[in-house]
Amino acid sequence: MDVLEALRRPDKWFLGGGKALLWAPPFPSYLDWPGFWDEAHYFDHVVERPFTVALLDQTYQCLALKPLSRDWRPSELTTAWMAGDLLVSERKALLPQDVLVSELSIWNPTDRPVIVRPVAYTAQRSTPGIGDHVVADVSFDGSAFRYVKRQQISLRGQELPVFSYKVMLGADQPPESFAGQLSEWNSLRPEWQLTPFVERMSQGSLGDELRLAGWNNDGLVYLGLQYSMEILPESRGRLVLGCAVGDELGQLLLQPIELSQESWREYFDDLPSLEVPDAYLQRYWWYRWFGLRLNTVDHPGGRARHPFVAEGIAQFRNHISYSAQAHALECRWQPSRAVARGSVLNFTEHQAPNGAFPGNIYAQLVHSGDMYLANWGRAVQAIYALDPNDRFLAEVYPALRRYAQFLDDERDPEGCHLYDVINQGETGQEYMSRYQAVDPRADHWDELRLKGVDATVYAYELQRALAWMAGLLGQPEEAVYWTSQAVATCQAVRERLWDPTLEMFTDINPESGQRTGVKAAVGFYPFMTDIATHQHLGALRRHLLNPDEFWLPFPVPSSPADDTYFSPWAEWKGKRHSCPWNGRTWPMTNSHACDALARASQQLDPSLQPAAAELIQRFVSLMFFDGDVGRPNCFEHYNPITGHPSAYRGIDDYQHSWVVDLMVRYVAGLQPDVDGALVVDPLPFPLSSFGLERVFVRKREVAVRWEAGTAFQVLIDGREVHRSPERERVVLTL
């Protein structure tokens, strides 16, 4: 399969190379202009107006471009225009060397030669002494501009040090003329007639001068490069322009689009391959892998020393602890576990003095003023199950032990083995009834105290993981201690968070010591673990599978339909919000709910297996515009009644959940354990066949295949180790 072709579509524009630079403007204004005038992001910093291109004719008049088409693949964005008689096409790409590339091709269908004079230019804010943006060290070396952009911003009320990065703007040939011009503020639309170059160019040249000092130095720095193309009759002219951020152009402009294609194909070719006849599952498998690489940041220039997946585009392009647990689960299936391990190591290396992990790691700032509760124990064990690296365990164990102690000291001062949530943000799930139940002003971001189901389940998973790690690392006394902690936490959840009348796990108000009785999707989290038993299955049958509560047309809403504050419209108390959890369907919630129902169906009640398979299928098919299999997406949240995404936020490809991991473990059934056991136990998806190939578990290549009416097979290193006529649970040892 050519994955680039399989993901092809006309309505997308995001480009990335897996390093520090990303071009994914949420609300682009200038997609139908050549070049990149809409913003890019370098780490979490905005790169404004990298460049655009004006096409001038031989009389130096700007050619009007009439858009014809747009076509996207992960490796490039192709746009076509008519310019009079000329057909102009452009292929945009973002190379893995953090270079934005525009390859212009102009077809002359006439019987006469044509002269076209492209001018590539940028307009950069420069406000020395005022604060936020400064252009410095501008130079022209005969072929390209170089400059340094310095930004000083405040983030979360804290003024950051100056952030600097180098920029190089050039082409695959020297320009005929150049200019640098300082200007007072004017419209920042990419229109040629608004530039300070237009009048001089009418004389035949940009002037070959750098005039970047005025009576003051505040304003806009315009940099322009003018080229010339003589296009013969029925012939094509080509010009490649590039903007390198943080690096040099080098020879990257010789075959840039091919370089981008090769980089993406190499990435896809190295990944596990899942083949299924279900069009939604098949398309989303590869689309999810696209989204993970799109948001990967693998560059030593920031505070995160290890590669990681940013939670999303724009303001979410940083390492966020709440989503890091999801990235560890997904990226562990890559042939290299560097990103999966980096999802944990970046936080253990920036641990706060009290043992908490920071909420965000930005390029310049580690924000330890807040935090997100996350399932670190499960993340570490999931990585180890595929790649048993004791050195990794030794690195993270001390930090995870300190984090667990922080939870005991500061989030369970009573010693009751139920753990506090102290504000609505740190669960990653704000604006919900569960917080209002303990504090009517919780939605004002007042500090609160809530013994949370999610916080306690995460603590339990961590305690179990620490006991296991201590045993492997030769610390038997600590293994005994953490085992006893986990047993006590498990007992506390079963005895105090379980409401036998409601048949639901709910939070506790620590002031009263009483359960809140508020139903929320986090109440299903214990089913991801062995906390939940047969006696708790009523939570799934009575609530999760109830079409009047959670089993809505597009499940699973974070709050049920009978909740006092329930709104499918993203409204909280009458106002549409950015991130409401009072009834929207969030992929992050769905990841947990799918795992919870699937585990319960395999460990507690096999009759739930069809529902578990259905939920995963409905989850995946939710993330397509209007059910169009050719247009997958991943927004922050969706309407559980209509399925509409939060497009008003503009944040597509939001990596805030796990999907690949669900497909591997429950469609193909591949479930490796930390003890070396390889369980293969696919759910009964209504599929006539499937094939999972190129999966590496403990350095062994594993494949799982199913063909209805033929055989169910498991292969290790190409050798068949199991065959049966039907899908069934298989336990092997690697």
- 222/75 same-domain check: yes
Going by C-alpha positions, the residue among 691, 556, 680 that lies closest to residue 614 is: 556
Specify whether the CB–CB gap between 643 and 554 falls below 8 A.
yes
Quote the CA–CA distance of 170 and 172 in Å, as a whole number. Answer: 7
Mean pLDDT of 47-56: 98
Residue 131: is its pLDDT beyond 70? no
The parent domain of residue 456 ranges over 411-516
Any idea what DSSP says for residue 486? H
Compute the half-sphere exposure of residue 609: CA atoms within 13 Å on the CB side of its CA: 18
- 656/688 same-domain check: no
Specify whether the CB–CB gap between 732 and 680 falls below 8 A.
yes
pLDDT tens for residues 537-571? 999 999 999 999 999 999 999 999 999 999 999 99
Going by C-alpha positions, the residue among 328, 292, 363 that lies closest to residue 20 is: 363
Mean pLDDT of 128-148: 86
3 state SS for 107-120: EECCCCCEEEEEEE
Specify whether the CB–CB gap between 660 and 271 falls below 8 A.
no
Going by C-alpha positions, the residue among 608, 590, 592 that lies closest to residue 600 is: 608
- 248/106 same-domain check: yes
Decide if 630 is inside a domain.
yes
**Tokens representing 128?**
């020395």
Q: Which of 87-96, 215-224, 471-480, 695-704 has the lowest mean pLDDT?
A: 215-224
- 105/226 same-domain check: yes
Residue 158: is its pLDDT beyond 90? no
**Tokens representing 631?**
């247009």
How many other β-carbons are positioned within 10 Å of the β-carbon of residue 696? 16
No. of H helices and E strands in the chain?
A: 15, 42
Instruction: Look at residue 248 in the predicted model and tell me its pLDDT.
Output: 86
What length is written for the chain? Answer: 734
Mean pLDDT of 478-484: 98
- 638/707 same-domain check: no
Decide if 420 is inside a domain.
yes
Q: Any idea what the CATH number is for the domain that residue 126 is in?
A: 2.70.98.40
Phi-psi region of 528 (alpha: psi -120 to 50; beta: other; left: phi over 0): alpha
Mean pLDDT of 130-147: 88
Higher pLDDT, 163 or 307: 307
- 440/548 same-domain check: no
Residue 350: is its pLDDT beyond 80? yes
Instruction: Look at residue 215 in the predicted model and tell me its pLDDT.
Output: 78
- 621/700 same-domain check: no
- 24/115 same-domain check: yes
φ/ψ (deg, to 5) at 304: -85, 115
Quote the CA–CA distance of 428 and 326 in Å, as a whole number. Answer: 13
Quote the CA–CA distance of 205 and 218 in Å, as a whole number. Answer: 26
pLDDT tens for residues 421-469? 999 999 999 999 999 999 999 999 989 999 999 999 999 999 999 999 9
Decide if 161 is inside a domain.
yes
Decide if 315 is inside a domain.
no
Decide if 287 is inside a domain.
yes
Specify whether the CB–CB gap between 632 and 623 falls below 8 A.
yes
Q: What is the mean pLDDT of the chain?
A: 96
Residue 290: is its pLDDT beyond 70? yes
Instruction: Look at residue 693 in the predicted model and tell me its pLDDT.
Output: 98
Instruction: Look at residue 66 in the predicted model and tell me its pLDDT.
Output: 97
Instruction: Look at residue 301 in the predicted model and tell me its pLDDT.
Output: 87
What pLDDT band is residue 129 in, cutting at 50, 70 and 90? low
Decide if 22 is inside a domain.
yes
How many other β-carbons are positioned within 10 Å of the β-carbon of residue 477? 8
Decide if 564 is inside a domain.
yes
Residue 146 in 3-state DSSP?
A: strand
- 279/193 same-domain check: no
Residue 32 in 3-state DSSP?
A: coil
Specify whether the CB–CB gap between 623 and 284 falls below 8 A.
yes
What pLDDT band is residue 213 in, cutting at 50, 70 and 90? confident
What pLDDT band is residue 217 in, cutting at 50, 70 and 90? confident
- 553/650 same-domain check: yes
Specify whether the CB–CB gap between 544 and 524 falls below 8 A.
yes
- 546/688 same-domain check: no
pLDDT tens for residues 392-404? 999 999 999 999 9
Cα dihedral 406, 408, 411, 416, rounded to 10, equals 180
pTM: 0.97
**Tokens representing 603?**
């460990």
Quote the CA–CA distance of 469 and 400 in Å, as a whole number. Answer: 10
Query: How many domains are there within the chain?
Result: 4
Quote the CA–CA distance of 492 and 489 in Å, as a whole number. Answer: 5
Q: Which of 122-131, 343-352, 573-582, 628-637 has the lowest mean pLDDT?
A: 122-131
- Indicate if the alpha-carbon torsion angle 723, 728, 733, 734 is positive or negative: positive
Mean pLDDT of 321-329: 97
Quote the CA–CA distance of 524 and 593 in Å, as a whole number. Answer: 7
Instruction: Look at residue 156 in the predicted model and tell me its pLDDT.
Output: 66
- 489/584 same-domain check: no
**Tokens representing 304?**
């995160």
Decide if 379 is inside a domain.
no
Alpha-carbon separation of residue 234 from 38, 140, 193 (angstroms): 33, 35, 30
Residues 6+ apart with CB under 8 A from 626: none
φ/ψ (deg, to 5) at 448: -140, 175
pLDDT tens for residues 605-631? 999 999 999 999 999 999 999 999 999
Mean pLDDT of 514-531: 98
How many other β-carbons are positioned within 10 Å of the β-carbon of residue 62? 18
- For 460-471, letters b (16+ CB in 10 Å) and e give bbbbbbbbbbbe
Residue 30: is its pLDDT beyond 70? yes
